[in-house]
Chain A
């Protein structure tokens, strides 16, 4: 009878069951990396941020170190400029460095101090 189905049981890949389970396990093993990638890709924004905490902290520490170093360097540079300025003022006026410092200082100098500097004794 042509309408009767052919019995393909002898080539059924799901039989016997133990052999089929091995095949499914082989596929699962071969797809381990694929499924691991899928699980990693499923992370929420919060968990993704959590995953980035280490590099984020490292970047913050690096920025802090660079900033502190830059600030210290700036302070040293600023001090040198003030010293250099007082010497330059003194040279330009043809006076001593004490006079230059006095001219640059914010405190009020006494007349004696100013006059005494230039009056020959």
Chain B
């Protein structure tokens, strides 16, 4: 049963308050708002999309269950990403699939994969392999910045680092990704 249809422009604090009151629509809005960021963090740890999706689902259920633990409801992102990161680390530890640790791409996508054609799937696989050359922090920074559009200020706050450090990580991550992907593919992966 939903209590209301929350405004997408509602603040994190409002969404958290409504979710704590049992508003399923507010909970949905929180999931939608932070899904990409959660995916970025999960992907940085587990290294493949399918596992990252599984981690996201588990993590969001846990987040909704333990929302009282978020001390500052106005800044839910750092706490949420910590939950996601811990779930991803746990998932990786217990995973029996060694390819996960080696960040090898999954060639055969699951039926509910976001990739809906062969070209997109191939690009995704290449990106996944390229991401494996980065360290986890570089992956988180570049995915949060370039996939979800976070600012360096937001990244710095969520990942507990300075903005300067965030910029350095982004610079190195992009440089190494481009080296890994190669010049011919570069045009396909970058905005112009």
Q: Which A residues fall within an 8 A CB radius of B? A: 1-16, 19-20, 22-24, 26-28, 30-31, 34-36, 38-42
- Residue from the set B20, B52, B61, B192 with the largest chain A CB neighbour count within 10 Å: B61
A42 close to B112 (CB less than 8 A): no
Q: Which of B79-87, B89-97, B156-164, B173-181 contacts A (4 or more CB under 8 A)?
A: B173-181
A2 close to B174 (CB less than 8 A): yes
What is the CA–CA distance of A41 and B67 in the complex, to the nearest angstrom?
A: 14
What is the CA–CA distance of A1 and B57 in the complex, to the nearest angstrom?
A: 36
Give the top 5 A-B pairs by smallest Cβ distance, nearest first: A39-B22, A38-B22, A10-B123, A10-B124, A8-B147
The residue of chain A having its C-beta at the shortest distance from the C-beta of B190 within the complex is A4
A28 close to B27 (CB less than 8 A): yes
B49 close to A11 (CB less than 8 A): yes
The residue of chain A having its C-beta at the shortest distance from the C-beta of B52 within the complex is A13
> Which of chain B's residues have a CB closer than 8 A to the CB of A7?
146, 188-191
Whether B133 sits at the interface, judged by CB under 8 Å, is no
What DSSP secondary structure best describes chain B's contact surface? helix
Q: Which B residues fall within an 8 A CB radius of A? A: 1, 3, 19-22, 24, 27-28, 31-32, 35-36, 39, 43, 49, 52-53, 56-57, 60-61, 64-65, 112-116, 120-121, 123-124, 127-128, 142-143, 145-147, 171, 174-175, 177-178, 188-192
> Which of chain B's residues have a CB closer than 8 A to the CB of A9?
120
Find A13's partner among B3, B53, B142 (CB 8 Å cutoff): B53
What is the CA–CA distance of A32 and B111 in the complex, to the nearest angstrom?
A: 24
Minimum CB–CB distance for A92 against chain B, Å: 76
> Which of chain B's residues have a CB closer than 8 A to the CB of A16?
114, 116
Find B114's partner among A2, A19, A40 (CB 8 Å cutoff): A19
